[in-house]
């Protein structure tokens, strides 16, 4: 038996698929592959740079679906279903929109697929796949099985190994799809098993792809203590309130922590309250992140500052002030993401109730929607203005002059040679991606919803 695992791309701007030059290993598919019994042949196809071999023999296809790749995933599925190949879909979008996903596949897996994979394989062999496997979310049980990293070889992924320590987050930001998926819960793996996984692979640079690795501070500290002897470098994602705990900060650095994606989201305290992100204010007091940025610098952490733009309290001027603030603080990287209404989030429900959703509420399937465009009507500007402002922020932050100026931030990017090299390896790449991705169409645009029901 042969199973083909597929990571879909977002879409295309022209006749050719968009090739993501900053692509990372599809960790989730490596984990799933490890759980498939060894007598089954497993093939990984990454649609971000590979042609999908629709006519090669396969007994089943498993596709991981995110909201941004749903349209392309449905196109791929339609091709396989025309060839009578069963298609199984899993991933975050199934949880957010399972009724929709079920129309486009043989079986949908809602929740953590690890929990039911053995049952699913038995059903596949017996030709008795169920339409929906509702397997819930739980402590990741996959840790004893080594991720099939051999499937990633030769595919040109960035030289950084993806590992997961925890899943989910205890906070409830109004726009966060992860918060819906994990129901504001945070699950950690057994630390010894994370250490064993890191030791079992070759790379010395690790990206912990956790939603929020510092959601449980004591467990994060325990992880750091266990990482110190490994002499690795690592990066991850976390909330800015990590800076209020000196011991945590010290342990992060001692264990090789180099930097974090941090959701600053806004420099407007009203916007933070509106999005339910008061954790960004120390004991409810907001001081324009002065202490937070200073502490990140003190510990030499390189920061990918993530902002969301388009909140009801945002104005054209406040967004322009945000980019000026980011430039002034010389962050290593930054993202200025348009607020996206993911299905089932508080944000989505609010915009739906106020009749402000554009593209029929299903921007991810709409032929007219373009990547990084506003998918709702903002309060204090037009949707087009918001789209233009977000792109303006990205362009300004990644302009050649800005890249040059930020490089010489002495406490972070110039702290060590490794950090300086990291800066120069990734800034030009991200600059290129900003321009390449803007305005992408989702899918290949010959998919018509409902055709393959």
Which residues sit at the interface with ligand SF4, rule CB under 6 A? Answer: 169, 171-173, 176, 178-179, 211-212, 239, 263
**Alpha carbon distance 364, 108 (integer Å):** 18
User: CA–CA separation, 192 vs 196, rounded Å?
Assistant: 6
> Which CB atom, from 45 or from 173, has the smaller least distance to ligand SF4?
173
Q: Name the minimum Å distance from CB 179 to ligand SF4.
A: 4
CB of 275 to ligand SF4, least distance (A): 8
Rounded to whole angstroms, how far apart are CA atoms 351 and 82?
37
What's the start-to-end Cα distance of the chain, in Å? 26
Helical segments of 201-332, H only: 217-227, 246-254, 269-274, 290-298, 316-328
Closer to ligand SF4 by CB, 273 or 399: give it: 273
Q: How far is the CB of 125 from ligand SF4 (least distance, A)?
A: 37
Of 48 and 171, nearer to ligand SF4 (C-beta) is 171
Which lies closer to ligand SF4 via its Cβ, residue 173 or residue 251?
Answer: 173
Task: For residues 443 and 10, give the distance between their C-alpha atoms in angstroms, rounded to a whole number.
Answer: 6
> Exposed, middle or buried, 192 (CB in 10 Å: 0-12/13-18/19+)?
exposed
Per the structure block, which two tokens stand in for 304? 């990918």
- Least distance CB 262 / ligand SF4 (angstroms): 9
> If you search the block for the tokens 């903002």, which residue do you land on?
378
Shortest gap between Cβ of 198 and ligand SF4 (angstroms)? 23
| Closer CB to ligand SF4, 5 or 338, in the complex | 338
Asked if residues 208 and 231 have their Cβ atoms less than 8 Å apart, the reply is: no
Distance, in Å, from the CA atom of 190 to the CA atom of 167, rounded to the nearest integer, reads 12
Closest CB to ligand SF4 among residues 111, 263: 263
CB of 119 to ligand SF4, least distance (A): 30
Please state the closest distance from residue 188 (CB atom) to ligand SF4, in A: 14
DSSP code of residue 18: P
| Rounded Cα distance, 10 and 264, in Å | 26
147: its two tokens: 């991720």
Instruction: Please report how close the Cβ of residue 238 comes to ligand SF4 at its closest, in angstroms.
Output: 9
Q: Which is nearer to ligand SF4, 280 or 427 (CB)?
A: 280
Q: Please identify, using beta-carbon distances, which residue of 80 and 207 lies nearer to ligand SF4.
A: 207
CB 261 to ligand SF4: min, Å: 10
- Cα 314 from Cα 138, distance rounded (Å): 37
Collect all residues with Cβ–Cβ distance below 8 Å to 21 and sequence separation of at least 6: 429, 432, 433, 436
Distance CA 9, CA 440 (A): 11
Task: Output 22 or 178, the one with its CB closest to ligand SF4.
Answer: 178
């Amino acid at each position: 038996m042969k199973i083909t695992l597929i990571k879909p791309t977002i879409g295309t701007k022209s006749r050719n698929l968009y090739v993501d030059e900053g692509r990372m290993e599809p960790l989730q598919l490596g984990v799933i592959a490890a759980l498939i019994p060894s007598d089954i042949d497993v093939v990984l196809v990454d649609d971000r740079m590979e042609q999908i071999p629709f006519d090669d023999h396969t007994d089943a296809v498993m596709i991981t679906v995110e909201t941004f790749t749903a349209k392309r995933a449905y196109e791929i599925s339609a091709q396989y279903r025309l060839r009578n190949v069963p298609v199984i879909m899993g991933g975050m979008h199934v949880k957010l929109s399972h009724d929709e996903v079920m129309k486009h596949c043989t079986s949908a897996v809602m929740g953590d697929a690890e929990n039911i994979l053995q049952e699913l394989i038995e059903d596949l062999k017996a030709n008795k796949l169920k339409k929906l496997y509702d397997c819930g979310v739980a402590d990741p049980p996959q840790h004893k099985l080594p991720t099939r990293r051999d499937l990633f070889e030769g595919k040109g992924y960035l030289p950084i190994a993806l590992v997961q320590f925890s899943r989910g987050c205890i906070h409830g930001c109004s726009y966060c799809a992860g918060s819906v998926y994990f129901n504001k819960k945070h699950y950690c793996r057994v630390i010894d098993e994370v250490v064993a996984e890191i030791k079992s692979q070759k790379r010395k640079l690790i990206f912990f792809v956790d939603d929020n690795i510092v959601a449980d501070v004591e467990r994060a500290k325990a992880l750091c203590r266990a990482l110190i002897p490994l002499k690795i470098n690592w990066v991850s994602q976390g909330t800015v309130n990590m800076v209020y705990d000196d011991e945590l900060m010290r342990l992060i650095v001692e264990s090789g922590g180099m930097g974090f994606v941090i959701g600053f989201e806004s420099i407007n305290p009203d916007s933070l309250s509106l999005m339910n992100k008061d954790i960004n204010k120390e004991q409810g007091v907001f001081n324009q992140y002065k202490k937070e940025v200073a502490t990140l610098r003190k510990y030499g952490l390189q920061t990918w500052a993530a902002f969301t733009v388009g909140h009801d309290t945002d104005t054209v001027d406040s967004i322009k002030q945000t980019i000026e603030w980011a430039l002034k603080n010389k962050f290593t990287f930054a993202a200025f993401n348009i607020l996206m209404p993911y299905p089932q989030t508080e944000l989505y429900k609010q915009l739906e109730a106020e009749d402000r959703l554009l593209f029929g509420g299903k921007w991810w399937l709409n032929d007219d929607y373009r990547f990084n465009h506003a998918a709702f009507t903002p309060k204090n500007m037009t949707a087009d203005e918001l789209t233009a402002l977000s792109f303006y922020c990205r362009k300004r932050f990644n302009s050649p002059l800005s890249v040059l100026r930020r490089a010489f931030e002495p406490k972070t990017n110039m702290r060590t040679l490794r950090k300086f090299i990291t800066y120069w390896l990734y800034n030009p790449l991200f600059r290129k991606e900003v321009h390449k991705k803007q305005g992408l169409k989702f899918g290949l645009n010959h998919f018509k919803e409902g055709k393959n029901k």
